[in-house]
Amino acid sequence: MSSVWIFVGAVGFGAVLGFTACSRRPADDADHTRFRPPTELHTVSLTDGGIAIDPQPRAVTADEATGSEYMCSSCYKAFSQAHIHVIPWFNDSLSDYVTTFRCDDDWLSSLDETRAHFLASVEHPEDRARFVAFFARHQLSGLDASDAAALRSDGLALLDKIRAKQIVLSP
């Protein structure tokens, strides 16, 4: 099962920094026209000894989902759900498309970067496969990595729908 992780933090006392890792179950991803907050939490602790993630998820309560804030991975500021956009973005360090959170000020320029990378790399079978796999992780199927011309057309149409907010990705 593929999960997308979100880290929401709060500073604790002493040398411990408390985080919550959030994920969505694939069954929760049927509707792509609106943002849906995470459905599960994993407790994450950072101590001098490293990172510890509780392997047992728990359901997100309505109160936790209502007050959630998300960090823009461009400007590193926290924003409410109303001002955050979940988009694909190519991470050079990972050589893969990743789910990223961008604020109102940063999302369009980041989506333009994604579009530029996609156009520059669509002729490479490995890059086409990464692009298709990203959207499969978000339960969006129908893209064909084996046909560069068709994927160029379908991929650009998909990115345009994200820009127009006709398709809304969720964590």
Q: Is residue 83 part of a domain?
A: yes
Contact 37, 58 (CB under 8 A): no
Q: Is residue 21 part of a domain?
A: yes
Q: Is residue 168 part of a domain?
A: no
Nearest to 64 by CA among 47, 42, 85: 42
Q: Is residue 153 part of a domain?
A: yes
DSSP strand E in the chain: where?
6-11, 17-23, 40-47, 50-53, 58-59, 69-71, 78-80, 84-91, 96-103
- For the question of whether the overall pTM of this predicted structure is more than 0.85, the answer is no
Q: Is residue 89 part of a domain?
A: yes
Q: Residue 53's domain spans which residues?
A: 6-163
Identify the DSSP state of 63: H
Q: Is residue 1 part of a domain?
A: no
Q: Is residue 169 part of a domain?
A: no
Q: Is residue 36 part of a domain?
A: yes
Report the chain (171 residues): mean pLDDT per 10 consecutive residues.
42 38 46 66 72 76 73 90 92 93 96 98 97 92 95 97 93 75
The number of folded domains in the chain is 1
Nearest to 97 by CA among 144, 139, 130: 130
